[in-house]
Amino acid sequence: MFRSCKVVITLSVASIAAMSSCVALAHDFSAGDIRIGHPWSRVAPAAAPVIGGYLTLTNAGSERDTLIAGSTPLAERIEIHQMTMEDGIARMRPLPDGVEIAPGSSVELAPGGTHLMFIKPTRPLVEGERIEATLEFSRAGSVRVEFVVQRNASEEPDQADDHGGHTP
């Protein structure tokens, strides 16, 4: 009897530990019907005038919503940008009206496309750290998130994706 209780306790503790580690690894946030998946940013050198922020936005609701703004103590401001290629040249432009998320759909903010831009960061970013930020949605309101600073070996940026030469 004692042995079976010990096994049950051991399995229970292992299950709780496994679930806790999954929760710790989960890097998702929500605001109303909006789900914010894995906010992240790349490691950035001290001289970087801008740093990209990336995430996935999913609208689980029945009405559209729009990511309209963001802020962080790390930088002077957050802007929403879109990168496009025109005649082999990377063009960056702010999206002052934000990014719309249609009902039942997802929008990926990723390198080489639509993304967040941390303008005039106050310091370099170090791999593994978490950067606090607040995102503003037209319907869902404000939500605090954390951007994980990481390397993305499968998609190392070229100069255009890394905002080389792009100044605020």
Domain boundaries, the chain: 29-155
- C-alpha atoms less than 13 angstroms from C-alpha of 127 in its C-beta half-sphere: 4
Cβ of 133: how many Cβ atoms within 10 Å?
23
What distance in Å separates the CA atoms of residue 9 and residue 35, rounded to the nearest whole number? 35
> What is residue 160's DSSP assignment?
T
The low-confidence residues of the chain, meaning pLDDT below 50, are 5, 7-25, 153-168
Q: Which of 131, 113, 106, 122 is nearest to 42 (CA)?
A: 131
What distance in Å separates the CA atoms of residue 42 and residue 156, rounded to the nearest whole number? 10
pLDDT of residue 45: 85
pLDDT of residue 2: 52
pLDDT of residue 46: 84
Cβ of 48: how many Cβ atoms within 10 Å?
19
CATH class (in words) of the domain with range 29-155: mainly beta
**Type of residue numbered 22:** C
